[in-house]
Amino acid sequence: MLPFLKLFAMCGRYSLSLPAATLAELLTLDLPEVEMEPRYNMAPSQRLPVVTDAEPNRLQWMRWGLIPSWAKDPSIGHKLINARSETLAEKPAFRYSFSKQRCLVPADGFYEWKPGPLGKTPYHIHLQDRSLMTFAGLWETWKDAEGREIMSFNIVTVEPNALMAPIHDRMPAIILPKDRKTWLDPATSQTELMGLLKPYSLGDLQADAVGNRVNSPLNEGPELWNPPFPSLF
């Protein structure tokens, strides 16, 4: 697991509480072969569901934290949970995946921490109706010396929109429903892809302050969305 403080660097937590049947319907997927439980605190190094360009009709479970195929040590994935959109085509760790191995990361919200005089306050950012959103992602397959595979992914980030700017200087790149096939299509040009990677602008995002229990990836459950306790003073 990543050291806790590093999770504040960019998008380091998200949620996916939607039923599997709803997810399959919205993304035109086969129903998952494994049971999916609602998740309210998805964290790096965990195996989480994504939809890839290689198999766009089903969910695949991959480890969050991209491990490039050429990496000598899988621990590099701890540093690569996100990828800045501005440098996808330049960074050796992301260049190939951006060109050939893209994915959608389904979510119904993400967390960011806003600095304040009394410390950092976590916020859960979601669509106002708490419906599905999909983040732009990259994926990779890494093999160790014995040929054992680790499939991994990360989340692409962009500049913040007006809602996010007071909270954090980055946000996940949210791929709109009409653009999901384009993001996964191997024939899409890099120019077109870059055009999809921009701050979310539809105006239906909401940011709710939540309690500090979300700070630990060991905590789960819908109570993580409860507002923080009011001050006693």
DSSP symbol at 141: E
Helix (H, G, I), strand (E, B) or coil at 20: helix
Length in residues, the chain: 233
Among 55, 23, 54, 53, smallest CA distance to 36 is for 23
Q: How far apart are CA 154 and CA 138, in angstroms?
A: 6
Nearest to 137 by CA among 65, 78, 75, 70: 65
- Closest of 176, 177, 178, 227 to residue 197, by C-alpha: 176
Q: What are the backbone dihedrals phi and psi of residue 39, each rounded to the nearest 5 degrees, phi first?
A: -125, 130
CA atoms of 2 and 169, how far apart (whole Å): 20
Contact 207, 123 (CB under 8 A): yes
Q: Which amino acid is at 56?
A: P
Catalytic residue numbers read 11, 112
Helices marked H in the chain: 20-27, 95-100, 180-184, 190-196
Tokens for 53, please give them.
């360009």
Residue that has been written with the tokens 């909401």 in this structure: 206
At residue 230, the 3 state secondary structure works out as coil
